[in-house]
Amino acid sequence: MQPELCKPTDRVLRYHPADKIFHTVNAITWFALLITGALVYFLDLSDKTKGGLMVWHLGLAVIFTLNIVAYLCMAPHRFAVTMKNLLEWDSNSIRWFLNLGGYPRRFFHIPLGPVEVPPQGRYNGGQKMSYLMFFFAIFTLAITGWILWVAAPLVGKMAFKWMFYYHVWAGAIVSVLVVCAHIPLALLSWSHVTGLWRLGSGTISVEAAMHHTPIWFKRDVIRVNPDDSGKEKA
């Protein structure tokens, strides 16, 4: 694609349907699981109330798990593309951490590192680190959750104890990072937010793509418009 031929208002495909569905279901069930689990663990509720909440927690866990399995089995190419981009680290990815994308300077007037932010690919350095952590948490919390529920007698008391504490506190810590960092930073690019969450095409503007992910735009994207159902290569 030739960037010089694009208008800032042109659209490019950023989020494929499988990515949008996985993200939406994962986000909704994650916070529903967080709420039901936190109520049971942190509040002194009656046994009846805790039992009812755990029924909801397990039902939500089924949806959460099926969403993971469906994404991996029905759209393995999308998962592969995502992991390829998350594991593709270069000097620009590392240099992003020198000024943390310019956000401390922009919002808190802290002159951290260079003024210029190095150009980034599909994901910047901070996103690569955090998204890899998120995927790890998604898989391990699903696995430990089901082991704690259906295979507790097989793992031993000590293993059960450490898996339980990991399940509780890993979920809580990742949720804090999502609420305090991931969501606020995502909202800085409304084009990305609407592309990911709205019904229909997961496109963003050329202007947003060029500003946030210029390397990805120049290397991996072809044009999307009503006359050309373009596709993203990676």
Q: How confident is the model at residue 220 (pLDDT cuts 50, 70, 90)?
A: confident
- Per CATH, which fold does 3-224 belong to? Fumarate Reductase Cytochrome B subunit (1.20.950)
pLDDT at residue 58 is higher than 60: yes
- List the chain domain ranges: 3-224
Average pLDDT score over the chain:
91
pLDDT at residue 195 is higher than 60: yes
Rounded to an integer, the average pLDDT of 72-101 is 97
Rounded to an integer, the average pLDDT of 86-109 is 95
Q: How is the chain classified by DSSP, letter by letter? A: --GGG--TT-EEEEE-HHHHHHHHHHHHHHHHHHHHHHHHHHS---HHHHHHHHHHHHHHHHHHHHHHHHHHHH-HHHHHHHHHHHH---HHHHHHHHHGGGHHHHHH----S-SSPPP--SS-HHHHHHHHHHHHHHHHHHHHHHHHHHSHHHH-HHHHHHHHHHHHHHHHHHHHHIIIIIHHHHTT-HHHHHHHHSSS-EEEEHHHHHHH-HHHHHHH--EEBTTB------
Q: How confident is the model at residue 4 (pLDDT cuts 50, 70, 90)?
A: low
pLDDT for residue 10: 85
Q: What is the pLDDT of residues 28-48, one digit of tens each?
A: 999 999 999 999 999 999 999
Lowest mean pLDDT among 2-11, 12-21, 183-192: 2-11
pLDDT for residue 55: 97
Q: How confident is the model at residue 194 (pLDDT cuts 50, 70, 90)?
A: very high
- What is the share, in percent, of the chain residues with pLDDT greater than 90? 82
pLDDT at residue 200 is higher than 60: yes
pLDDT at residue 2 is higher than 70: no
pLDDT for residue 5: 60
Rounded to an integer, the average pLDDT of 1-18 is 78
Q: What is the pTM of this model?
A: 0.89
Lowest mean pLDDT among 59-73, 151-165, 214-228: 214-228
Rounded to an integer, the average pLDDT of 66-95 is 97
pLDDT at residue 139 is higher than 60: yes
Lowest mean pLDDT among 9-13, 89-93, 140-144, 184-188: 9-13
